[in-house]
Amino acid sequence: MTSNTNILVTGGAGFIGSNLVGALLTDERVQKVRVLDNLATGFRKNLSEFEVHPKFEFFEGDIRDFDTCLKACEGVHLVSHQAALGSVPRSIKDPLTTHEVNITGTLNIFQAALQQGVKRVVFAASSSTYGDSPGLPKVEDKIGKPLSPYAVTKYVNELYADVFARTYGIEYIGLRYFNVYGPKQDPNGAYAAVIPLFFKAAHFVDNAVEANLLSLFTDNKEAVNQIYNVACGERTSLNQLWEMICEVAGCTQKPIMVRTGMGISLIVWRMWERQKSCWLTKENIYLKKAWKKHSSTIILYLKIV
């Protein structure tokens, strides 16, 4: 697939999806980028800079509705399926809705893609599929038992993808994101995260975007119908991270750590007065900017997704 490619991005108004849409719109292989999103946790404002782009189309709709998926897949060559209800606690509180969106919705997307002759579905899998597996580093084929309804849904997506490839011949690539952070991440979302940071690994959203581009466009037959980890390949402990922040912010304060239940650890570091969005990149560019702009409390919420 080299040019004139029409791509559907489900969940394109969300954090990762909207970053991907931006990259696709500037890609010369792409003719059209259609977003399907019901704005459950995503925002139209994440797409506002693309609204007038001639390659851009927005369909407001729900992946739980099969006809909507069918319409969204019409004329599409490749799908990047990002739509889902994230959040482990939400799935524990309301497993039925998480199931409907993440499993039935994904099944709808695969079936609609198949019926519309889509060549490949790249989909957002999750590191939560490693569940209780203790081994490090995480290797794709060594998973444990899922630890939440959310993790079950993400694993079932992988199973369905594989069955669709074997049974109907549609191609897939599943991207097991580890903990992604960056611009357009909702600071008031499920975790009200200012800098969402994670236990095992955290990687900047550009990595996830790049992984999607490679997966959508690869011509390597051996690369398809596979699941891949998408992570930064190195671990940063919380203490190391804290030291990095202190270095940038010129602070010597000790972090205050709070542990919560349900498999979520919430760590609060009180440094400044108010919480504001900022992002930590390797070069600390966003953090530096945020630090200069806001003299505020930085609250770091950790989550396992």
Give catalytic residue positions: 150
Residues 50-69, one symbol each (x = binds ligand NAD by CB under 6 A, - = not), give: ------------xxx-----
Task: In angstroms, give the least distance from the CB of 96 to ligand NAD.
Answer: 13
Stretch touching ligand NAD by CB under 6 A, among 82-90, 137-145, 237-245, 266-274: 82-90
CA 135 vs CA 1, 142, 186, 245, 276: distances in Å: 37, 8, 31, 29, 35
By CB under 6 A, tell whether 305 contacts ligand NAD. Answer: yes
Secondary structure in 3-state letters for 117-166: CCCEEEEEEEHHHHCCCCCCCCCCCCCCCCCCHHHHHHHHHHHHHHHHHH
Q: Please, which residue, 85 or 161, has the CB nearer to ligand NAD?
A: 85
Q: At residue 180, what is the residue type?
A: V
Q: Please, which residue, 189 or 255, has the CB nearer to ligand NAD?
A: 189
By CB under 6 A, tell whether 42 contacts ligand NAD. Answer: yes
Bridge partners of residue 301, in order along the sequence: 266
Total chain residues near ligand NAD (CB under 6 A):
29
By CB under 6 A, tell whether 174 contacts ligand NAD. Answer: no
CA 273-41-198 angle, to 5 degrees, is 55
Q: Please, which residue, 41 or 291, has the CB nearer to ligand NAD?
A: 41
For ligand NAD, the binding residue among 7, 8, 9, 13 (CB under 6 A) is: 13
Residues 118-137, one symbol each (x = binds ligand NAD by CB under 6 A, - = not), give: ------x-x-----------
By CB under 6 A, tell whether 180 contacts ligand NAD. Answer: yes
Tokens 């650890």, residue?
265
By CB under 6 A, tell whether 210 contacts ligand NAD. Answer: no
- Residue 260 is encoded by which pair of tokens? 């919560």
Task: In angstroms, give the least distance from the CB of 240 to ligand NAD.
Answer: 20
Residues 219-248, one symbol each (x = binds ligand NAD by CB under 6 A, - = not), give: ------------------------------
Task: Round to whole Å and give the CA distance between 102 and 83.
Answer: 8
By CB under 6 A, tell whether 101 contacts ligand NAD. Answer: yes
Q: Please, which residue, 63 or 103, has the CB nearer to ligand NAD?
A: 63
Task: Round to whole Å and give the CA distance between 110 and 171.
Answer: 10
Q: At residue 160, what is the residue type?
A: Y
Q: Please, which residue, 64 or 276, has the CB nearer to ligand NAD?
A: 64
Task: In angstroms, give the least distance from the CB of 197 to ligand NAD.
Answer: 11
Task: In angstroms, give the least distance from the CB of 282 to ligand NAD.
Answer: 17
By CB under 6 A, tell whether 82 contacts ligand NAD. Answer: yes
Q: Please, which residue, 37 or 249, has the CB nearer to ligand NAD?
A: 37
